[in-house]
Amino acid sequence: MKKLLSGDEAIARGAYEYGATFATAYPGTPSTEILENLIPYKEIYAEWSPNEKVALEVALGASLAGARTIVSMKHVGLNVAADPLFTAAYTGVNGGLVVVSADEPSLHSSQNEQDNRNIAPFAKIPMLEPSDSQEAKDLVGEAFRISEEFDTPVLLRITTRIAHAKGLVECHERQEVPLKEYKKDAAKYCMVPANAMKRRVFVEERTRRLAEFGETFPWSRIEWGDKAVGIITSGISYQYAKEVFGDKASYLKLTLTWPLPEKLIREFAAGVEKLYVIEELDPFLETHIKALGIPVVGKDIVPNMYELSADILRQKFFGGAPAPNPVAGVNVPPRPPVLCAGCPHRPVFYILKKLRVPVMGDIGCYGLGLQPPLEAVDTTVCMGASVGMAHGFQKASAWSGLSRKAVGVIGDSTFFHGGMPGLADMVFNKGGGVLVVLDNRTTAMTGHQPHPGTGITAKGEPTEEIKIEDVVRAMGVKDVAIVDSYDLKAVETALRHALEFDGPSVVICRRACALLKGLPNLGKAVINQEKCTQCHACLRTGCPALVSHPDGSVTIDPNACNGCFVCGQVCAFGAIEKAGGGERG
């Protein structure tokens, strides 16, 4: 039976077919859809974890219990999970453990671009790279097999084009794989120094055995064509190379890309006249092949940043103008990302800009608070960084005799992901920063996944809701306020108080994401043109439902308006009125 599946969907299908019974993840583009497509399988327990480190730790525990387990995350998430990953390489596994890293070349929705192929030799674990959806599914099975045979986590590395592009996939029935027996083995699983030193030797020996295994691994293959040109490649780059060179080149398609098969590479290199490496991002293959003493051309021609494409390869290898763009010449106005109409974050950023206070931002929808006209956010670094940076800013200022504060802004899901340790640090070290938690009752940016504060599990079951206000009070924060994000006056009053408070403060601005299902109808806002003076104060909220016309008038698009009535609160002339609906805005 064939199905049209994206790479993410295919990986989920592979986990199902090859007997996985346990799956964890933290959402993040382009990996989110892996767990979302695992949740419906009744044979697999699946959960969203508060962050990637926890996801991998839970997955490792499930593996030790004997379950075939898959854990998925985006590329920067693997940084968060690096601590348990590097030691899991020593402990090894019981049930097969597959760690999916979904890298994002061109950083469409990420704070950096990184090539996580470098993680595999760093952590000393094997790595597989699929080139299409079929391989994405099949290699999950190979990864489980390698994991159990070689007693190691296996890194399954994909990129955006593999994750989101769709292809036909041959699907099969599920293989039921019973739990493996768990045997207590402190020497293997307790990485105290005496044990870890012995496992260190095991890790090196395992890498040697894996390299031998890779020489005959059938998913890595030589495709002989014209031997004047030889191309070593992997992943999506294989597809681009084939599209450009066709049968006018020979290929070594590597699928187990760590450890590399030295004999296979030498055999291929000896059989061609000119050897190239075509790969996206870093010169990963190129560097290691050159270290073998094999002359090869790579990044002298192929770019080392952003997404690769067949068009780029044609230009780099054959010159000439780029292929015609079917939309070239069309004057498309720029459309920078903005907070949605009715977004409960908007009024908070409106007030923060008004207060002219440094705002340390974080990863999530609220990163859009840096866009005009709000322009409230000063920094965006990584998940949870807002808290520590606000604390550091305030502490350094105070140390130099400056009485000034900074505000850290973090979402509810991100608070559980990486915000709590920073807040503990602020309290413990007698900081005076202000933390604003933008609690919109979901993980909005990645598609409304639940988190520990929502009271619902990934499987849709009711569960204990961990209240953020209880957490921050338990961590020692004495000054805690909870306000309605739509209430501009309440937000401003709470923030002004927090900025004057002597000690750490937390302001929880709470309103459900306007795009969540089942919310009450708040009606619409309409502009009474007879009262409107065209002062344009409402436009400074940045709501995309407000439409400015060439004659200076402003109207509200009823199809976009969510009735939050933030615009009505900034209008000094009472020109914006409620129409229909009930409660606030």
What phi and psi values does residue 449 have, to the nearest 5 degrees? -80, 145
How far apart are alpha carbons 82 and 344 in whole angstroms?
34
| pLDDT grade for 548, boundaries at 50, 70 and 90 | very high
The pLDDT of residue 324 is: 63
| pLDDT grade for 361, boundaries at 50, 70 and 90 | very high
Find all residues with CB under 8 Å of 256, minimum gap 6, and list them.
126, 127, 128, 210, 213, 214, 217, 219, 220
Contact 191, 33 (CB under 8 A): no
Q: What are the beta bridge partners of residue 101?
A: 73, 157
Mean pLDDT throughout 397-408? 93
How far apart are alpha carbons 551 and 545 in whole angstroms?
18
Strand order in the sheet with 229-234: 221-223, 250-254, 229-234, 274-278
Looking up tokens 């190129």, which residue turns up?
286
Contact 344, 274 (CB under 8 A): no
Which secondary-structure segment (H or E) carries 556?
Answer: strand 554-556
Collapsing DSSP states into helix, strand and coil, what is residue 277?
strand
Helix/strand/coil (H/E/C) assignment for every residue in 103-150: ECCCCCCCCCCCCHHHHHHHHCCCEECCCCHHHHHHHHHHHHHHHHHH
| pLDDT grade for 585, boundaries at 50, 70 and 90 | very low
Find all residues with CB under 8 Å of 243, minimum gap 6, and list them.
310
Q: Is the pLDDT of residue 74 over 70?
A: yes
The pLDDT of residue 498 is: 98
Q: Which residue has the higher pLDDT, 45 or 338?
A: 45
Mean pLDDT throughout 287-291? 98
The pair of structure tokens assigned to 364 is 């999530």
The pLDDT of residue 326 is: 60
How far apart are alpha carbons 113 and 108 in whole angstroms?
9
Mean pLDDT of the chain: 95
For the ranges 157-166, 225-234, 315-324, the lowest mean pLDDT is seen at 315-324
| pLDDT grade for 316, boundaries at 50, 70 and 90 | very high
pTM (two decimals): 0.93
What phi and psi values does residue 289 have, to the nearest 5 degrees? -70, -40
What phi and psi values does residue 253 have, to the nearest 5 degrees? -90, 110
With 0-12 / 13-18 / 19 or more C-beta atoms within 10 angstroms meaning exposed / middle / buried, residue 430 is: exposed
Opening angle at CA 525, ends 522 and 528, nearest 5: 150
Collapsing DSSP states into helix, strand and coil, what is residue 541?
helix
Q: Is the pLDDT of residue 325 over 80?
A: no
Nearest to 414 by CA among 394, 390, 436: 436
Contact 340, 519 (CB under 8 A): no
Q: What is the pLDDT of residues 333-351, one digit of tens each?
A: 777 788 999 999 999 999 9
Task: Count CB atoms within 10 A of the CB of residue 306.
Answer: 13
Contact 442, 448 (CB under 8 A): yes
Which secondary-structure segment (H or E) carries 493?
Answer: helix 488-500
Looking only at the bridges linking them, the beta strands covering 434-439 and 407-411 are parallel
The pLDDT of residue 237 is: 98
Amino acid making up residue 26: Y
Cis peptide upstream of residue 550 (ω within 30 degrees of 0) = no
Nearest to 584 by CA among 497, 500, 510, 479: 510
Which secondary-structure segment (H or E) carries 411?
Answer: strand 407-411
Q: Provide the sign of the torsion angle of the four alpha carbons 162, 164, 169, 175, taken in this order.
A: positive
How far apart are alpha carbons 494 and 508 in whole angstroms?
9
Contact 447, 441 (CB under 8 A): no
| Percentage of the chain modeled with pLDDT above 70 | 97
Q: Is the pLDDT of residue 315 over 50?
A: yes
Task: Count CB atoms within 10 A of the CB of residue 1.
Answer: 7
| Percentage of the chain modeled with pLDDT above 90 | 94
Contact 264, 221 (CB under 8 A): no
The pLDDT of residue 323 is: 63
Opening angle at CA 364, ends 361 and 369, nearest 5: 50
Find all residues with CB under 8 Å of 239, minimum gap 6, and list them.
131, 132, 310
Mean pLDDT throughout 102-119? 95
Nearest to 514 by CA among 363, 364, 341: 341
Q: At what angle do helices 193-215 and 82-91 cross, to 10 degrees?
A: 80
Q: Is the pLDDT of residue 201 over 90?
A: yes
Nearest to 571 by CA among 350, 275, 285: 350
Q: What are the beta bridge partners of residue 233?
A: 253, 278
What phi and psi values does residue 437 have, to the nearest 5 degrees? -100, 115
Q: Is the pLDDT of residue 494 over 60?
A: yes
Q: Is the pLDDT of residue 409 over 50?
A: yes
Task: Count CB atoms within 10 A of the CB of residue 174.
Answer: 16
How far apart are alpha carbons 507 and 355 in whole angstroms?
15
Contact 80, 86 (CB under 8 A): no
Mean pLDDT throughout 375-384? 95
Helix/strand/coil (H/E/C) assignment for every residue in 220-272: CEEECCCCCEEEEEEHHHHHHHHHHHCCCCEEEEECEEECCCHHHHHHHHHCC
